[in-house]
Structure 1
Amino acid sequence: MVTAITEGIKVSVETTYQAEFSSPHQHHFVFTYKVKIENNSSHTIQLMRRKWEIYDAGDKTKFVEGDGVVGQQPILEPGNVHEYVSGCNLKSGLGKMKGSYIMEKLFDGKLIEVTIPEFQLISGIFDN
């Protein structure tokens, strides 16, 4: 698990290689990642947007942006936690992701960019 903290917002990510949904001989590797967002600040925040940089050793780097996460724009009061699971498909069994969330402080409308720490996507084919 990797973690980053920005202005009291803690983001932790844990990844899993999904061998049963992957087809290495067809260059199709499936990963899931579980994200935990903890609001340790003194302000209520709302997750508005996400930005991802996805590196695949077998393909070009992709950039993905969009509203919210998995169809939601969660509001987190101080002390609240939001968790979700999402996935990523790679052409190789080796990659990494990193990014950021754009969050709004609801008391004043100020936007902050919260770091999503870089995490590795490594399939079982690299195990010794």
Structure 2
Amino acid sequence: MVTTITEGVKITVETQYQPEYSNPANEHFMFAYRISIENLSSYTVQLMRRHWHIFDSNSTRREVEGEGVVGIQPVIEPGQTHEYVSGCNLKTDMGSMKGEYQMVRLLDNTTFNVQIPEFYLVASYKLN
């Protein structure tokens, strides 16, 4: 589990290898990640966009950008937490992800970026 705080927004990430959805013989490794977004500030914020940097251990790099997370743009009140689960497929059994969320402070429409800490995606058999 990794955690970071940017502008009063705490991001925590947990990962899990998904062997039942992976096919190593075809270079397909599936990982799930759970993200917790906790608003530690005194302002209501809304997550507008995401931007991911995804790295395979074979030096392949991808970027993914889009609106919201898993189809929504959550509004997070002070002291509240929004959690979601998503997934990422890699061509190797190890890799990493990092990125940022574009947020808006609803009080004054100020836009700011919240860092998503780098986290590692590692097939469970590599950890033994």
Q: TM-score with structure 2 length normalisation?
A: 0.97
Runs of 4+ aligned structure 1 residues displaced above 3 Å come to: none
Deviation at 1:59, TM superposition (A): 5.4
What code does the residue aligned with 2:111 have?
A: L
Q: Calculate the aligned-residue CA RMSD, in Å.
A: 0.9
Deviation at 1:13, TM superposition (A): 0.3
Whole-angstrom CA distance in 2 between matches of 1:11 and 1:101: 10
Q: Number of aligned pairs?
A: 128
Deviation at 1:124, TM superposition (A): 2.5
Matched, 1:94 2:112: no
Deviation at 1:57, TM superposition (A): 1.4
Aligned partner of residue 104 in structure 1, secondary structure: strand
Q: Which runs of 5+ in 2 are unaligned?
A: none
Give the corresponding residue for 1:39.
39
Whole-angstrom CA distance in 2 between matches of 1:127 and 1:67: 34
* Contact 1:59 1:91 survives alignment (8 Å): no
Matched, 1:55 2:55: yes
Whole-angstrom CA distance in 1 between matches of 2:117 and 2:57: 19
Whole-angstrom CA distance in 2 between matches of 1:7 and 1:57: 31
Whole-angstrom CA distance in 2 between matches of 1:56 and 1:125: 17
* Contact 1:93 1:125 survives alignment (8 Å): no
Matched, 1:4 2:4: yes
Deviation at 1:25, TM superposition (A): 1.2
Aligned partner of residue 25 in structure 2, secondary structure: helix
Whole-angstrom CA distance in 2 between matches of 1:32 and 1:127: 16
Deviations 1:32-70 (A, max 9, x none): 000000000010000000000000113520011000000
Deviations 1:58-103 (A, max 9, x none): 3520011000000000001100100000000000001000000000
Written as runs of structure 1 = structure 2, the 5 A alignment for 1:1-128 is: 1-58=1-58, 60-128=60-128
Aligned partner of residue 58 in structure 2, secondary structure: coil
Whole-angstrom CA distance in 2 between matches of 1:59 and 1:122: 15
